[in-house]
Amino acid sequence: MAPKHHPFICVEGIDGVGKSTVAKKLAEAISGVYFKTPSKPYSDVREAIDEQADTASRFYFYLSSVTFASQQIARLCSETPVVCDRYIYSTYAYHFVKDATLRTKVLALPVLPPTILVPDFTALLTADEPERQRRLAARLGQTFSNEKFQERDGTFLASVESEFLKMGLCVVDTTATSVTEVVSQIIYRLGDLLQPVHECAKSMLAENAYA
């Protein structure tokens, strides 16, 4: 794995908690780059895998995609901070719920496979169910495969969130909090990882201090 000089930050959580919005704003605030998994070429075939593959095959597809993304992120981190939208934790959480036997086939949490770059910080975003459903309803014009419809089911996603909560990630509740305030809270928790602190991040901290 290539040496890393800048922070590698992950944003995780179930559908509708604000991952992409927060990750993009956080990357902007710390003068970093936004990275979403799965990246190309995996993203080009993702829909077919979701629709046609069994759970085990799908798990190893996503595990491979994260390993590939890890190599890309390591190279980026030699030049700039990276904020990643979903990472290995999503692969584990979703698939452990779909097939509990997969848990015995991977390294025990929270250890990550040695070929995968370990994040410096991972924020687990949460939101209460009414707010999450409101955000999902606002996503007009989206279509979803059968696999994706299952992943939008409240009972299924509650189980996924329970898996996330077992991983020791930094929980940030986005329910009644603006995007700017959520980003400010994450920046505060990053602490010494952001030294020197970028001017935009300084401004956010001044406007939205978290004790």
Do the domain assignments include residue 195?
no
Do the domain assignments include residue 120?
yes
> Do residues 74 and 1 lie in contact, with contact meaning Cβ atoms separated by under 8 Å?
yes
Do the domain assignments include residue 207?
no
Do the domain assignments include residue 23?
yes
Q: pLDDT tens digit string along 21-43?
A: 999 999 999 999 999 999 999 99
Q: pLDDT tens digit string along 6-17?
A: 999 999 999 999
Burial of 48 (0-12, 13-18, 19+ CB in 10 A): exposed
What's the confidence (pLDDT) of residue 211? 28
What's the confidence (pLDDT) of residue 197? 45
Task: Going residue by residue through the chain, which has 211 residues, state the pLDDT in tens, using 9 for 90 and above.
Answer: 545 689 999 999 999 999 999 999 999 999 999 999 999 999 999 999 999 999 999 999 999 999 999 999 999 999 999 999 999 999 999 999 999 888 877 755 445 677 899 999 999 999 999 999 888 888 765 555 445 555 568 889 999 999 999 999 999 999 999 999 999 999 999 987 776 444 444 444 444 433 2
CATH number for position 36: 3.40.50.300
Structural domain boundaries enclosing 80 = 8-178
**Structural domain count, the chain:** 1
Do the domain assignments include residue 199?
no
Do the domain assignments include residue 124?
yes
Do the domain assignments include residue 55?
yes
What's the confidence (pLDDT) of residue 58? 95
What's the confidence (pLDDT) of residue 152? 65
Do the domain assignments include residue 196?
no
What's the confidence (pLDDT) of residue 200? 46
Separation in Å, CA 30 to CA 7, 39, 76: 10, 22, 14
